[in-house]
Amino acid sequence: MGYDDENAERIVIDLETIAAPDAAEYLKLDEIEAPSNYKDPIKIADYIGKARRERIEKAGLEADLCEIVAVGWEREEPVVMVRGEWSERSLIESLWDAIGYRATVGFNTLGFDLMILIRRSQLLGIPHPSLNLDRYRTPHVDLLEKLSFNGKLTYRSLSFYCRRFGIPCDDTSTGADIARLVKDGNWGEVESHCYQDILKTAALARRLGYLPKVEVAEVVL
C-alpha cells in the first residue's frame, strides 16, 4: 500500500507557518511595477513600497518564503510539536514519519500544507515522498476542496464550516495571530491553536464521512 493508494489509512494533519527571517531579501528579486498610468516618481515609489510591504506581510503563506513553526497530526490521539522545543527539521521529519504511507486529511492541505511541507523539505534537504496533489486524482482528502466542490462554491474558513455543521470551536486565536505569538514567545498559544485545528479538522472529517466515527461506549446504570 503506497501514498497514492485511495484505500490507504488516513491521518489528520495541520501545520503553522510564519515568514522566514530572510523573506524580505528574496522578495527584492521579484520585480514590482506600478500601473502604467502612474507617472509621478514619488507616487510610483510609494506604490512599490506599499506593494512590497504587503508581500512581506503575506510571506508566511508562501511556500518559497515561509518556515514551519508547528505541526500536528492525529491517528489515535492528537500530537502537536512546536519550534519552542524542536527545530524545524525535527518538526518536518516527525510529521513525515507520522504520515508514513497514509493518505492525509486536512483543511486546505492541497493548496497549502502539503506543498509547504514538500518545499521546506526540499530547501532543508529532508527526504520526502512524491505525493499526488492533483485535486481530482489525489487520495489525500482536502476538506476545503470537498466542501466547496473543488472551488465551485465559495471557499470559507475551517471555523465557519465547523460552526455550520454544529462542531464546537473553542480556539481563541487564528492563523493570522501565529506570527505575533511566535514573536512574543507565546509557544503555548501556538501549540493550543494547532491542537484545536487538529481537533476541528478531525471532527469535521468524521462528520462528513472521511474518517470513521468515534464510538462512544454506552453507560448502563
Tell me the domain boundaries of the chain: 10-19+70-208, 21-64
* Architecture in CATH for domain 10-19+70-208: 2-Layer Sandwich (3.30)
- Rounded Cα gap, residues 129 and 36, in angstroms: 45
Average pLDDT over residues 148-162: 96
**Residue entry with cell 519552542:** 84
pLDDT at position 5, please? 47
Give the tens place of pLDDT for each residue, 177-204: 999 999 999 999 999 999 999 999 999 9
Has residue 174 got a pLDDT over 90?
no
**Strand ranges inside the chain, DSSP E:** 10-19, 66-74, 78-82, 103-106, 141-142
> Does 159 have pLDDT greater than 90?
yes
Say what the pLDDT of residue 190 is.
96
Residues of the chain above pLDDT 90, percent: 66
Q: Please check the confidence at residue 140 and state whether its pLDDT lies above 80.
A: yes
Contact 143, 204 (CB under 8 A): yes
Using alpha carbons, select from 128, 24, 3, 110 the residue that is nearest to residue 66.
Answer: 24
107 three-state secondary structure: coil
